[in-house]
Amino acid sequence: MPVKPGDRIPDAKVMTATSDGPRPAQTGKLLGDGLVVLFAVPGAFTPTCSDYHLPGFVLRSDELKAKGVGCIACISVNDAFVMDAWARDREVGDAVLMIADGNGEFTKAMGLEMDGSSFGLGSRSKRYAAIIDDGVIRELFVEPAGGLEVSSAEAVLGAL
């Protein structure tokens, strides 16, 4: 069953890329303090994710931070090497924290996994965005099917 507003975010092991290579982290620590915007994508380097979803949050990062957001994070069921390469390719810099949910543990705990087997992707995350306040989901915007409307940076800004 998917999480809903009022639920605490799951605490799962994920990976982040550092200058010393991939490092394990816990989502409770990464996403549990202050006002956080988390958005999830089905896959790094995929067209909608690369051309619109991630760039929207990078471009709007200053506006989000002006509204009190302390951390903007992107999570995907990809490994840390892929997330790091994607961040460098899209010139993310420090605007967005890139989180690798390589085993899909966080995605499953959120109840927001999807079967992308028909596209050769296997088990992945649905596209969504969440506003998290001190570890509690305040708003959750899950895309109903394939597009990018309710989970865009603009939509999140409108909800803050």
The percentage of residues in the chain with a pLDDT greater than 90, rounded to a whole number, is 79
pLDDT digits (tens, 9 = 90+) for 103-151: 999 999 999 997 776 776 767 789 999 999 999 999 999 999 778 999 9
Tell me which residues are annotated as active site: 49
What count of other Cβ atoms lies within 10 Å of the Cβ of residue 27?
24
Secondary structure E strands in the chain: 13-18, 21-26, 35-41, 71-76, 97-100, 113-115, 123-125, 128-133, 136-142
Query: What gap in Å lies between CA 122 and CA 100, rounded to an integer?
Result: 16
| Domain span including residue 127 | 13-159
Residue 126 has a pLDDT of 93
Is residue 6 a part of any domain in this protein?
A: no
Give how many domains the chain has, as a whole number. Answer: 1
Least confident range from 39-43, 78-82, 142-146, 149-153: namely 142-146
Query: What gap in Å lies between CA 101 and CA 15, rounded to an integer?
Result: 7
Is residue 4 a part of any domain in this protein?
A: no
Is residue 92 a part of any domain in this protein?
A: yes
Is residue 3 a part of any domain in this protein?
A: no
Tokens of 135: 């570890």
Question: CA nearest 60: which of 96, 86, 16?
Answer: 96
Structure pTM? 0.94
Is residue 90 a part of any domain in this protein?
A: yes
Is residue 82 a part of any domain in this protein?
A: yes
